[in-house]
Structure 1
């Protein structure tokens, strides 16, 4: 029987993890999900054509979780392991990732100019040089020529802002630090060591990435189709779009933090103003199925060309052969936009843009396409514009003073991978259980 004192908003991985952890504490807390099924950003979907069934994910997902708590759940689903190798498409060249450590395909003169600029920069840079923006960080790491050649261009496509408008709190180990020997080695050798931040990634054999969530769904009390439209934080009551309401003593919210604040009825003006400054990128996902095997040259790849809208592409059929019919293969492209920078295209235009990219890369012809599909995800990545963390922390602190615990990528408003979002939900559950004693 569910515990009427508590509630969880959002049925993504953080909400599901929180519910599972609460059951370990002896608390059966329902999860209220706006969509018709749980999964959130980790959900998968299937499409049918004459060739058979195709499985796609909501954006690129591969697990490299190391936490025992996460592995204890994910490893219950049969999975495949992949070496973490990817490519970059840049002006007609396929260059292994990260590009600065794999410059072998470039013309000799260009490689020399980039390496000389980096070596001069490293000889002059001071370890204590002020770094206030992501642009500062990139220039500090790579020098001007490498930074302009690759990451500064890519930043505008992926984050929808110039690097000078982004902070640095999100970077962590996501970006490879410059190492002159690595750069030189990758310029003279066509097989340098893989310097990606993980060596192996895992993916379910069947069912898409969502299959990793199956153990969390087995005993969960998930109530779908219930979209919160008001959170009365004075009376501690949440109301849903169908008119139903539920009181709560404490609640865990995994829905986007600025959305939550907009739903709350009793919010100080300064908190509303700060919450309104928080924004995220949206993702338009274009899925393409091909009547030919092995279309993609790698598990995933980044796209630097500015005349191609998509920032990144990946192959569900390489993730698992069960994701495409026999003899076929698939790609998904991610196109990012935000309130800071939009693309202004309708779905048909986005699909056409990706088909042209496939042709430009020489991967396949139009006649080999079996299906195209467009899906819009309103929330992709939290944008770390300058000063965001300070503003967010004020908002989070106030919300948590209102008997609401925050969890997950969008609840905490942070750059969390799926394993980190799982642990975030678990931590929120522990805090709620502690308060319930």
Structure 2
């Protein structure tokens, strides 16, 4: 079997690349996917009448082309929502983001947050931040000691499982809201209902969970262009041949990887020693997602809640049935609970499950009389790329070598970055245009990459 372009992985990045190669014309392509269904982590599982995604997968649309493509793919099966996200700390729900919404917290906490924030504005003896500051130093300078102590530090330590002094700020520019001083003050004195951040609004399928998006992309491809249940076993970059289970050898001229970069580097060869050394510096976290179906409606009007405090083992809880009523049978509700661990840490799931359920009862998301109608774990092995100080140099060295070999590595996992579904689809479009020799939109400059994203209505 031979193809012009072999695409590893049938998630959104791989499917988008194949779709846009077809649009460009001139090159054949083949997508190989290890699972029986397309979608990867942008997929869904049905159990007992519930539809569960791999944690919350919501469509944040910021690009006109991306928006039109998604709306066209899911025509008639997409609902728009204004985000209802909250933070639970000190036994109080406050609005997201924390830095603009401390109203309702104990007065000493509010005073601590305001005092620290306004010191960042009026203090004259600050030393300039380094050109590449740690996230810890940046947070103290941007938000002050109080906001950092009560939310930024504990929440991000829970999520990233890495000392914040060892993390860069390269991931946060587009994702962490930075309210003005007047907004911080107003949000301490009153219930501020202004929306902040790239995810202030979102779209989500009315039926079928997020699985309907990769399914719709796959339906636009040619018959036989996707091979599921075909994990790639090895890739010989010198001979331009891959071996996939059930397919045997597949020859290719160009290769597009959308698998986690660490996995691709482990199954492909040959690589120079510098690439192997760079691969050893790549870090990631595993997320254990516990999905629950409950025998009553719950969390009215809340889409998801952040939990910064150590007494809760999870960092976020979301409500699938508040994204779409069809995600749960009538009169019930469904949740995802996210727990982060370093890649090498083994989780004792029965023990962790008991701690999670106890925490959910403590914060009153679950009540003592609730019956769990569905319950199962969805581990996401490579969930978050860790932006430590070794990442950027390592990734640049790897991508430089891959470019010389005619290999594209794209998407959230292939590109080894923190991103979202629309960006992943656009990564596939740009990759297809490069392969087809067409002009492509200008890449983000470093300054643009730090600009806060604004959702399209």
Aligned equivalents of 1:416, 1:112: Cα separation in 2? 34
Partner residue, 2:256: 252
Structure 2 SS opposite 1:195: coil
TM-score computed with the length of structure 1 as normaliser: 0.93
The equivalent of 2:55 in structure 1 is: 59
Matched, 1:16 2:15: yes
Native 8 Å contact 1:142 1:178 kept in 2: no
**CA distance in structure 2 between the partners assigned to 1:133 and 1:178 by the alignment:** 20
Q: RMSD of the TM alignment (CA)? A: 1.9
For the pair 1:112 / 2:111, whether they are aligned, the reply is yes
- Contact 2:281–2:390 under 8 Å retained in 1: no
Structure 1 CA distance for aligned equivalents of residues 423 and 110 of structure 2: 38
The question of whether the paired residues in 2 share the 8 Å contact of 1:90 and 1:304 is answered with yes
* Aligned match of 2:430: 427
- Secondary structure at 2:395 match in 1: helix
Matched, 1:338 2:342: yes
Residue matched to 1:29: 29
Deviations along 1:195-245, whole A, 9 cap, x unmatched? 233432100000101212233111322101111121111111111245711
| CA distances 1:381-427 after superposition (whole Å, capped 9, x unpaired) | 11111131111111011012112112111111111211111111111
Alignment partners' CA distance in 2, 1:33 and 1:304: 36
Looking at structure 2, the residues matched to 10 and 243 of structure 1 have their Cα atoms a distance apart, in angstroms, of: 15
Where in structure 2 are the equivalents of 1:76-225 lying within 5 Å? 76=72, 77=74, 78-124=77-123, 126=126, 128-130=128-130, 131-220=132-221, 221-225=225-229
Superposition pairs of residues 275-314 of structure 1, within 5 angstroms: 275-295=279-299, 298-314=302-318
Cα distance, 1:55 vs structure 2: 0.4
2:287 matches 1:266 = no
Q: Compared with structure 1, are the counterparts of its residues 6 and 113 closer, same or farther at alpha carbon in structure 2 (3 Å cutoff)?
A: closer
Distance across 1 between alignment mates of 2:139 and 2:188: 20
| Inter-CA distance 365–109: structure 2 relative to 1 (3 Å threshold) | closer
Aligned to 1:46, the other structure's residue is in SS state strand
In the TM superposition, residue 296 of structure 1 has moved relative to its aligned partner by 5.5
Q: Paired residue for 1:414?
A: 417
- Deviations along 1:344-403, whole A, 9 cap, x unmatched? 432222322221122011122254122211111111111111131111111011012112
The range that moved more, 421-430 or 295-304, is: 295-304
2:359 is aligned with 1:357:
yes
Q: Distance in 2 between matches of 1:115 and 1:191?
A: 15
CA displacement 1:286-343 (0-9 Å, x = unmatched): 0111111133561011111212111111111000000000011111011111237x3x
Q: State the number of aligned residues.
A: 428
2:382 partner SS: coil
Structure 1: tracts of 5 or more residues without a match: none
CA contact 1:283–1:377 (8 Å) conserved in 2: yes
The reply to whether residue 390 of structure 1 matches residue 393 of structure 2 is yes
Describe the shift of the 1:296–1:314 C-alpha distance in structure 2 as closer, same or farther (beyond 3 A): farther
Q: CA contact under 8 A between 2:298 and 2:365: conserved in structure 1?
A: no
Cα shift readout 1:168-213 (whole Å, capped 9, x = no counterpart)? 1111221122532211111111234222334321000001012122
Aligned to 2:450: none
Give the C-alpha shift of residue 84 in structure 1. 1.8
**What corresponds to 2:404 in structure 1?**
401
Cα distance between partner residues in 2 of 1:339 and 1:203: 30
Q: C-alpha separation between the residues in 2 aligned to 1:192 and 1:13? A: 33
Q: Matches of 1:129 and 1:272 in 2, distance apart?
A: 33
Separation in structure 2 between the aligned mates of residue 150 and residue 219 of structure 1, nearest angstrom:
44
Matched, 1:235 2:239: yes
Q: Which moved more, 1:364-373 or 1:24-33?
A: 364-373
Aligned twin of 1:327: 331
Structure 2 distance, partners of 1:121, 1:5, is: 55
User: Where do 5+ consecutive residues of structure 2 fail to align?
Assistant: 439-457
